[in-house]
């Protein structure tokens, strides 16, 4: 079995490219939380053309919607999404910072009403001092993306 080939090509799915080095693990964690059965391949600290480093994740058999792809912008604003079909890139786009995120994450505030009432979570995305924060619509608290360790069911 050619291991290299297995890492480098997927028949169909999504390649998340140009993830800032170090952020790949966070995206991996997020994707794993969202769906533990996803088949993922990750490359860390891959060299880029301009002597930098990047992370890259391949997700087999999964095509992200634009909304799903944009959630990744919380962790990697510069990421590009490559949609793969039959081993070829059929669509390529850059993730965009979403204005809000609905029903994805659980509010990190355990006293938030979203934990006792069955309402979908709702966060506004804010950027302050180069850091992305999510502000809960219900409890109005702001949180760094690193605090989002649970997804809402
Ligand atoms: Zn809240």
Token code pair at residue 23:
């952020």
Least confident of 20-24, 30-34, 48-52, 53-57: 30-34
Distance (angstroms) between ligand 1 centre and the Cα of 30 equals 19
DSSP string for the chain: --HHHHHH--SSEEEEEEEETT-HHHHHHHHHHH-TT-EEEEEEEEE-TTS-EEEEEEEET----HHHHHHGGGT-TT-EEEEEETTEEEEEEE----SEEESSBPPS-TTSGGGTS----EEEEEEETTEEEEEETTT--EEEGGG---B--
Distance (angstroms) between ligand 1 centre and the Cα of 26 equals 22
pLDDT at residue 152, as a whole number: 65
Distance (angstroms) between ligand 1 centre and the Cα of 105 equals 10
- Domains annotated on the chain, with CATH: 3-94 (3.30.70.140), 100-147 (2.30.30.20)
pLDDT at residue 75, as a whole number: 87
**Per-residue pLDDT tens digits for 35-67:** 778 888 999 999 988 889 999 999 999 998 888
pLDDT at residue 3, as a whole number: 44
pLDDT at residue 1, as a whole number: 42
pLDDT at residue 79, as a whole number: 95
Tell me the residues surrounding ligand 1 (ion) with CB < 5 Å: 107, 109, 112, 136, 138-139
**Per-residue pLDDT tens digits for 70-120:** 999 988 989 999 999 999 999 999 999 999 998 888 999 999 999 999 899
């Amino acid at each position: 079995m050619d291991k290299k080939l297995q890492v480098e090509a997927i028949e169909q799915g999504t390649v998340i490219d140009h993830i800032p080095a170090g952020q790949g693990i966070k995206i991996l964690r997020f994707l794993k939380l969202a769906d533990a059965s996803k088949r993922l391949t990750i490359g860390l600290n891959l060299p880029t053309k301009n002597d930098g480093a990047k992370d890259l994740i391949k997700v087999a058999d999964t095509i992200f919607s634009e909304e799903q792809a944009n959630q990744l912008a919380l962790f990697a604003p510069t990421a590009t999404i490559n949609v793969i079909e039959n081993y070829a890139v059929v669509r390529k786009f850059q993730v965009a910072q979403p204005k809000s995120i609905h029903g994805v994450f659980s509010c990190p505030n355990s006293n938030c009403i979203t934990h006792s009432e069955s309402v979908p979570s709702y966060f506004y995305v804010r950027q302050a001092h180069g850091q992305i924060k999510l502000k809960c619509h219900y409890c109005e608290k702001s949180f760094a993306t690193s605090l989002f360790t649970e997804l809402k069911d």
